[in-house]
Structure formats: C-alpha cells, structure tokens
Amino acid sequence: MNESKLKIKLAFITGLREIVFNEISQYANLHVIKEEGDSLYLDFAQDLAVIKRLRSVSRAYIVAQNSKYNPLYISNHKSILGNLVETITDKNKGAFKTFKITCAGSDSPEVRSIAEYMQKTYGLTEKEEADMKVHIVKSGEIWEVGIQITPRPLSVRDYKIKNMSGAMDSTIAYAVNSLCELENANSYLNVFSGSATLLIEAGQCYPNLKQLIGFDNNKKHISLAMQNIKKAGLIKKIQLKEKDIFDKPDLGKFDAITSDLPFGMTISKNEDLENLYRYFVEYCQETLNHGGRLVVYTSEYEILKKIILGSKIKIVKTLELKFMTSVNAYLRPKIFVCGLKKELCIKVI
C-alpha cells in the first residue's frame, strides 16, 4: 500500500465546524477532501507535528479506506495496519506501550490474529485503557482502518495538571477565544476562571495580549488554576484574583471578556442562577470596552438570553454544541458571541 491511500481523519465537537475550518485554513499544506458528520478527512500530511498542533480538534487519526479492508482482509494483509503503526511511531518510538482494537467481533479469530501481530511485531500490550487506539469500522460500503496519532486526545492539553469536575473542554475554550477577535485586543478578562483553561488558551494562542486577568471566588479553584498556569509557562503573564461577581470587582475595562458560566452541579444548592447571571451581565456591560467582544458558554442559555435581551448587550451570534459527557449523557450547551449595543445619539438643534 502506498502513502497516497493514507488520509488524516479529524474528529471535533458538534457545532465547532466553522472554528475547525478556520484553523485548518491557516495551514497551506492541510487540504480537506471529505466531510462526514463530525469528522473531516484530509490529504495525508507527511509532517504529523502540524496535525498535533491543531487546537480546535478533539482527536486525529491516520486512516486507510477501502471496500476490502474488513477484519478478515486486514488479518491476512497485516502490513496495511503495520504501515499505519510505523507512520505514527516513526519519530516517537517510546510513546506507545499498550494498544486496543475497536472493532465489531473483537473476540473473533481474525481480530485476535491482528492483536497477536501487534504484540509480537511491536512489543505492545493489549489493554482496555491503551496508548495506541486502533479501529476497524465500516461506513456505508467502505471499511476504514485507523490509529489515533497521539496517546491522548488532542483536546487533552499538556498543561492540564489539575482539572475541576465539569471543567471546560480545551477545544471549546479555543473556540470561545477565537470568537473574541483577540488578534486586535490588548486586554482580556475571564470571569469565573475555574481551572484557567480559557486564560491559558488565550495566553498561548495570542501573545499580543498585554493584560490577561481572571477571577473566581473559590480558593481551591484558584489553587488548581495556578498549577495549570505554571505548567503552561504563563505564570508571569496571567493574573488570577479571588473576587466575587456580586461585589462587582473594579478591575478596569477590557477588550474581551469570556466566561464558562456556572450551571447545573457546578453551583451551590441555594444559589439563584438567574440572579447570578443578571449580576454577570450587568458587570460585563459596564466592564466591556466599546467595540469589544463578550463570549459566553453555558447550558442554561434560555436564562442568559432573556437577561441579555433586557440589557445594554446585543447577541451577535450563537453556536449550538452537542457532545457526550463522561457519564454518557448528551450535553447541548451554547456559545454566545456578544457586543455592546450602540448608544442612540440624539442630535439637538
């Protein structure tokens, strides 16, 4: 099999399509050849380092597709899978120690034969929670054999030493920041900063930002966030403050404000969510610079929308997302992209 048959497959969260396409367009050597649900197929990229740098994508794979590539065919032509293995381990020999094959009939003689080949040829151990994730799946009339190119999903960032329960997915944080027009911004505020995912993504992707500030009213959150910020190498650039939104902290004015708003289990039992969101919107309309962007992520979007419509803030657009949580339940949050309404000017004659 020659390399012209290899493709790169990128998987992303439902609703982030425009963000993914915008990021891919920044790389001249990445070419989309097919779109299938929440996956894109690209021409094979010789330099996998470029693929590994993508921040809007959840997972990336090298795949080969053919109507013949069923488990029986692969078990009889193991070099097809071997080519994929050698491609991803070429410059990263020690990254993979275990493997898992996802395939219908995983206990069949054909799949067991493939597993034995992986163990003997590459010295890998078969394990449920594995570094090397192999799949053999059928879509329509075409079979696909593929391997995730990194041991962990691309969405699992190296700076994530500590994570809060319900913490924001890094690819969503990247999307939120990319909707803030940060290329033209100097100052950035993250309200309810949590584990600092939004702040770190902003700091790493937009070195032009002169002011990066976040606040949270929870000491434990701030402690966790500081560890992540330190690992990201941004300890001198990001300021974290212990503040409460109900005190309307005076931190100045900002070109961009972001927030992963508290909702569901992340708020205390006695907390009035509508009141919290109202304080948040009132605070943002006084703190956002004219021409600036407020970008907010929440599952309680009906409450937020109602409050925004009665404020000095306007909704520019929304993105509706859909993904499965760690407890196999679907979450359907929204990203709101907002700005300040233009003041009506009355000309006095």
Domains in the chain: boundaries: 3-148, 170-340
Q: Determine the distance from the C-alpha atom of residue 32 to the mean position of all C-alpha atoms in its chain, rounded to a whole number.
A: 19
The model's confidence at residue 347, banded by pLDDT at 50, 70 and 90, is very low
The neighbouring-strand residues paired with 10 are: 40, 60
What average pLDDT does the segment 329-342 reach? 93
What average pLDDT does the segment 73-91 reach? 93
> Radius of gyration of the chain from Cα atoms?
23
pLDDT in tens, 269-322: 445 899 999 999 999 999 999 999 999 999 999 999 999 999 999 999 999 999
The model's confidence at residue 162, banded by pLDDT at 50, 70 and 90, is low
Q: Which pLDDT belongs to residue 8? A: 97
How far apart are the C-alpha atoms of 226 and 213, rounded to whole Å? 12
pTM: 0.92
Q: In what order do the strands lie in the sheet with 313-320?
A: 238-242, 211-216, 187-191, 254-260, 288-298, 334-340, 313-320
What average pLDDT does the segment 223-251 reach? 96
Q: Which pLDDT belongs to residue 167? A: 80
Q: Which pLDDT belongs to residue 326? A: 67
How far apart are the C-alpha atoms of 140 and 78, rounded to whole Å? 23
- Determine which helix (DSSP H) or strand (DSSP E) holds 188, and give its type and residue range: strand 187-191
The model's confidence at residue 239, banded by pLDDT at 50, 70 and 90, is very high
Q: Are 137 and 102 in contact (CB under 8 A)?
A: yes
Any idea what DSSP says for residue 37? T
pLDDT in tens, 18-62: 999 999 999 999 999 999 999 999 999 878 999 999 999 999 999
How far apart are the C-alpha atoms of 227 and 232, rounded to whole Å? 9
15 versus 348: the higher-pLDDT residue is: 15
CATH of domain 3-148: 3.30.2130.30
CATH match for 170-340 among 3.40.50.150, 2.60.40.1180, 3.90.550.10, 3.90.1490.10: 3.40.50.150
Long-range contacts of 73-78 (CB under 8 A, 24+ apart): 73/143, 74/110, 74/114, 74/136, 74/145, 75/109, 75/110, 75/111, 75/113, 75/114, 78/114, 78/117, 78/121
Helix axes 17-24, 170-178, angle to 10 degrees: 80
Instruction: Enumerate the H helices of the chain as residue ranges.
Output: 17-24, 48-52, 71-76, 79-89, 109-122, 170-178, 197-205, 219-231, 273-287, 301-309
pLDDT at 232 over 90: yes
What mean pLDDT is reported for the chain? 91
% pLDDT > 90, the chain? 84
pLDDT at 268 over 60: no
The model's confidence at residue 345, banded by pLDDT at 50, 70 and 90, is very low
User: Which tokens hold the place of 162?
Assistant: 């500590």
pLDDT at 348 over 50: no
Contacts of 165 (CB under 8 A, 6+ apart): 265, 266
3-state secondary structure of 335: strand
pLDDT in tens, 111-140: 999 999 999 999 999 999 999 999 999 988
How far apart are the C-alpha atoms of 272 and 264, rounded to whole Å? 11
Any idea what DSSP says for residue 322? B
The model's confidence at residue 266, banded by pLDDT at 50, 70 and 90, is very low
**Angle 38-39-45 from CA coordinates, rounded to 5°:** 155
79 versus 327: the higher-pLDDT residue is: 79
**Angle 170-36-179 from CA coordinates, rounded to 5°:** 35
User: Which tokens hold the place of 311?
Assistant: 């404020």
